[in-house]
Amino acid sequence: MRLFSRGMAVILSVLSLSAQANVLANAANDHIKEKIESTLQWEVNAIADSPVRGLVQVSTENGLFYVSADGTYILQAKIYNLDEEMRNETEIALAEMRIAGLKQFDDSYIEFKAKDEKYVITVFTDTTCGYCRKLHEQVGAYNEVGITVRYLAYPRAGLSSPTYRQMVNVWCAVDPKEAMTSAKNGQSVAPANCNNDVARQFQFGRSIGVNGTPNIVLSNGSIIPGYQPPEQLLSALQNIAG
C-alpha cells in the first residue's frame, strides 16, 4: 500500500506540474495575442510551438510569424532544419494550414472539372490579372491532361476595389463558371448579390502566404506562384505524386 501511495503521489505531482505549465503557456500565448492585436491591429488566428526554442509560431491574417516568448520581438522568416537536409519547417507548417483551411471553401469553389481527373489544383485568381486570364484560356487543356481547376478569389487591389465587386458578381452569378469566363475575357458581368465568402477567400489567401495571382495550391499544401503551362504543371504534379 505504501508503494502504491508513493506511486500515486508521484503521478499526481507530475500531473500538477503539467497543468501548471499549461496554464503558464496559455497565459503567455494570451499575452502575445493581445499585444499583436493591440499593437499591430492584426487578427491572430492561432498560436503554436515553433521548432526553435524561445519562439512561438503565430498565424495571423497577414501571414505566419515567429514571436519571442515574452512578446517583445516578431520575426517574418523561414526556419530550416540543418539536421534534416535543410527541411523548410515554415513551409511545412504553412502547407498544413493550407490543407486544413481550404476545407472551409468546399462549397465555394468555381470548379472546372477534368473528365478523367488525376489531380486537383486550387488557384487563387483575380479576374483582371493577365496571367490569370492566360491560365483560364487554357483551362480546357488542363482538364484534358487530368487536372481539375478550382478557383478561389484573390482581388489583388483589396476588398474596396472594383475587382472585388466584380468577383462578387462572378460568385453570385446564376452560372459562376460562365461569369468567370466572361470576366476573364474582359466582358462585363451583371451585378449580383448573394451570401458569399469572397472576402473570406481573400483574407485566407493572405494568411497562408498568397501575395499575388495566380497562386496555385497543390494537394500536398505546397504553392506554385504564377502561371504554369498545362504540361509543365502536370510534370510538377507527377513529381509530387512520386
pLDDT by 10s per residue, the chain, length 242: 555 566 555 555 555 544 444 544 567 799 999 999 999 999 999 999 999 999 999 999 999 999 999 999 999 999 999 999 999 999 999 999 999 999 999 999 999 999 999 999 999 999 999 999 999 999 999 999 999 999 999 999 999 999 999 999 999 999 999 999 999 999 999 999 999 999 999 999 999 999 899 999 999 999 999 999 999 999 999 988 75
Structural domain includes residue 230 = yes
> Do 119 and 234 share a domain, yes or no?
yes
| CATH number of the domain within which 16 lies | 3.10.450.70
> Do 30 and 112 share a domain, yes or no?
no
Q: Taking a C-beta distance cutoff of 8 angstroms, is the pair 152, 122 a contact?
A: yes
Question: Known catalytic residue: 132?
Answer: yes
Q: Out of 98, 132, 150, 172, which one is annotated catalytic?
A: 132
CA distances from 134 to 32, 61, 110, 143 (A): 43, 29, 17, 15
Question: Known catalytic residue: 197?
Answer: no
Alpha helical stretches, state H, 40-138: 89-102, 130-137
The count of domains in the chain is 2
pLDDT at 184: 97
pLDDT at 21: 41
Question: Known catalytic residue: 172?
Answer: no
Alpha helical stretches, state H, the chain: 2-39, 89-102, 130-137, 139-144, 162-172, 176-184, 198-207, 230-241
Structural domain includes residue 20 = yes
What values do phi and psi take at 65, rounded to 5?
-135, 165
> How far, in Å, CA of 61 to CA of 116, rounded?
36
Cell of 37: 492585436
pTM of the model: 0.85
Q: Out of 98, 133, 150, 156, which one is annotated catalytic?
A: 156
Question: Known catalytic residue: 126?
Answer: yes
HEC string of 142-174?
HHHCCEEEEEEECCCCCCCCHHHHHHHHHHHCC
> Do 147 and 226 share a domain, yes or no?
yes
> Do 62 and 125 share a domain, yes or no?
no
Structural domain includes residue 215 = yes
Determine how β-strand 80-81 pairs with β-strand 119-125.
Answer: unpaired
> Do 153 and 208 share a domain, yes or no?
yes
Q: Out of 98, 126, 133, 150, which one is annotated catalytic?
A: 126
> How far, in Å, CA of 34 to CA of 52, rounded?
22
Q: Out of 129, 133, 150, 172, which one is annotated catalytic?
A: 129
Quickly tell me which residue has 513551409 as its cell: 91
CB count within 10 Å of CB 92 equals 15
For residue 189, give its domain range.
104-241
> Do 147 and 227 share a domain, yes or no?
yes
